[in-house]
Amino acid sequence: MHFHQVHEFIFFEHIDGSYFYHQGESTLSDFEAVFTPAMETHDFVLNPRPKSWYIVQFMPERLNDPALLEFIERLKTGLHLTFSPDIQQKIHTLLAWMLSEFNDNPKSKTCKQLFNHLITMVCEYGKSGLSKQQKPLSVSSSFKKLTPVINKLKTAEGINLSLEQAAELCHLSPSYFSRVFKKHFRVAYSDYLIQHKLYNAARLLGQSTVSVTDIAYDLGFSSPSYFIKQFKYHFKITPHQYRQQLLD
């Protein structure tokens, strides 16, 4: 599980796997879409077959556009959306046009209009892919017990939250907290914390000029070499290479 500081749509062309989010677990199929609001934890488990998709990320404030205000309420929580074949084709044609326009001039008036049209189409025509019998994960009593630590991890103070501190925050014993956390996040808390730090590192590499050494120590890694080793293990690329790719 992880989260972003931006809203995120993923429009799949070819996909086979599952989407885990606050509404539960959904099985993904070709030409569907998922939406995850900023700071909401989510994850994917994908099967080994050819995959392709479009990712559209934007700041939450983008929905303050008068043309999009009516959709703010619907986009407050994660969504798994399905579309009719006709709408599927229109959305993916629009996405290809958006990508071309964005590459030419991301601040153009046309790019803004295409984005607004995309959000409107998705919100008006998208239907929930969640089973009616499925209860949202967010209403699970055991998941609710983790709310304090989930909220804490979304702040700068949560980056080095130990297992004992996390358990105490939730008023649970460390052993019980560990079991509940792994049940819902599908990884041990210690492994999740490393992933959480690495996603923050990737954000800092892309949005700042802070050195790799400073990022390593700021995020609580024991040494820059250990940070680089973990980053390469998870992202299959070094922090320096990751930053260079973004610059290129």
Across residues 120-129, what is the average pLDDT? 92
Indicate the residue among 69, 100, 128 that finishes a domain: 128
Are 47 and 148 part of one and the same domain?
Answer: no
Confidence of residue 139 (pLDDT cuts 50, 70, 90): low
Predicted local distance difference test score (pLDDT) of residue 38: 84
Indicate the residue among 102, 128, 154 that finishes a domain: 128
Total number of domains in the chain: 2
| CB-based contacts of 55, cutoff 8 Å, min separation 6 | 8, 9, 10, 11
Is the pLDDT assigned to residue 136 strictly greater than 90? no
What percentage of the chain reaches a pLDDT higher than 90? 52
Are 122 and 36 part of one and the same domain?
Answer: yes
Is the pLDDT assigned to residue 4 strictly greater than 80? no
Predicted local distance difference test score (pLDDT) of residue 164: 95
Residue 133 domain flag: no
Is the pLDDT assigned to residue 190 strictly greater than 60? yes
Q: Which two tokens stand for residue 189?
A: 């808390």
| CB-based contacts of 48, cutoff 8 Å, min separation 6 | none
Are 123 and 230 part of one and the same domain?
Answer: no
Predicted local distance difference test score (pLDDT) of residue 86: 95
CATH number for 239: 1.10.10.60
Is the pLDDT assigned to residue 156 strictly greater than 60? yes
Domain interval for residue 184: 138-247
Predicted local distance difference test score (pLDDT) of residue 8: 92
Are 11 and 119 part of one and the same domain?
Answer: yes
Are 113 and 172 part of one and the same domain?
Answer: no
Are 124 and 232 part of one and the same domain?
Answer: no
Mean pLDDT, the chain, integer: 88
Are 91 and 113 part of one and the same domain?
Answer: yes
Is the pLDDT assigned to residue 119 strictly greater than 80? yes
Residue 1 domain flag: no
Is the pLDDT assigned to residue 133 strictly greater than 50? no
> What's the distance, Cα to Cα, between the start and end of the chain in Å?
29
Q: Which two tokens stand for residue 73?
A: 């309420």
Q: Taking the alpha carbons of 104, 107, 113, 116 in that order, is the dihedral positive or negative?
A: positive
Residue 2 domain flag: no
Are 99 and 195 part of one and the same domain?
Answer: no
In the DSSP assignment, the letter for residue 41 is -
Is the pLDDT assigned to residue 103 strictly greater than 90? no
Nearest Cα residue to 121 out of 78, 79, 68: 68
Is the pLDDT assigned to residue 27 strictly greater than 80? yes
Are 151 and 119 part of one and the same domain?
Answer: no
pTM of the entire structure?
0.67
Residue 76 domain flag: yes
Most confident listed range (30-39, 111-120, 127-136): 111-120
- Among the residue ranges 24-28, 89-93, 98-102, the one predicted with the least confidence is 24-28
Across residues 14-23, what is the average pLDDT? 84
Higher pLDDT among residues 95 and 103, named by residue: 95
Is the pLDDT assigned to residue 158 strictly greater than 50? yes
Predicted local distance difference test score (pLDDT) of residue 242: 87
Indicate the residue among 105, 128, 151 that finishes a domain: 128
